[in-house]
A and B are shown apart, each in its own frame.
Chain A
Amino acid sequence: MSQKLLLNAQELDIILHRLACQLIENHNRFEKTALIGLQPRGRFLLNRLSVILQDHYGVKDLKIGLLDITFYRDDFRRGDEPLKANSTDIQFIVEDINVVIVDDVLYTGRSIRAALTALQSFGRPASIELLTLIDRRFSRHLPIQPDYNGRQVDAIGDQKVKVMWNENDGEDAVYLLKNES
């Protein structure tokens, strides 16, 4: 397994600030907007974005939540690995608000499909957008595209994109992992 650095800490920081600014451009003071991170890995990106929005751009009363999609996945009883549920924490009804789904890597689009279904359990949002840090284009199984995107990556088949966060993995970086052949 070899790994190639796609983004270092500084590049990641620039991208996070850009994504935050793009969100402000469309959502202004976030009165009617909620950011919802997908468990387990979307949580870190969500936390970073919410810190930047509040500390650097003075956004107040930002509504954030965490959504676990385990019970909505379409591969239940299909894989070798049993699915493990994480906690969901959404303390508000999403009725008539603009939801931005936040996740680190967009790959096949199936998680986002599950998240769209799961969100319906919390009400009828006015709109739903998608923010991802890495978009693995050319590998989509469903017609799903991000509205806000950090970096597009052309990764094929057995390659993996690994997003590392300082608070969890010890460094801020994005790697492309490939099998040596």
Chain B
Amino acid sequence: MADQLTIRRAIHGDEAALRALWVQYAPRIDAVVRRLVGDPDQAADVAQEVWIQIFRALPTYRGDSQFATWAHRIAVNRTLNALRSLRRIGKVETEIEEDTATVEHEGDRALLAQTIDEAVQKLSPGARTVFVLHDVEGYTHEDIAAELGITAGGSKSQLFKARAKLRTLLRHLMDVPISQEPSHVAHRS
């Protein structure tokens, strides 16, 4: 929990206090930025913008929620703004279709991510954003729709496709013998 006196000093521009807040919360805040942005270099740039925004908004922090929660919300909003400015989310619906069509096959498994975190980075930017916001951050489809300027139905559709792809990417971690996998040659509608 952030020390209220540290926050007071930080509001007044005390470098030691600002640094203390950054040291304490950067591991968590930067992690959500990295999950949403994907590309490490772009994530570092966005994280810098996020922290400037957090510190700029400090005087509005009233202490009625935990500092981590307050800062986390700013981080998500600022990151989504940054992604929008990169014109990555605008193409989300078309990208997800292409994305699903290019799911890796058995032979590519050696190249697949070893953890869900790495696997998420292999999703298209739009699919990653919807998946992270819903399944990791706990946003509702209505919230996501409002943030991304899409419909709630569109958010659901993208989420299910993202989950299906992740399931494929992480099949080797899910302990299901290949011989038992559904063939998916024919599916129910």
Decide whether A and B are members of one complex: no
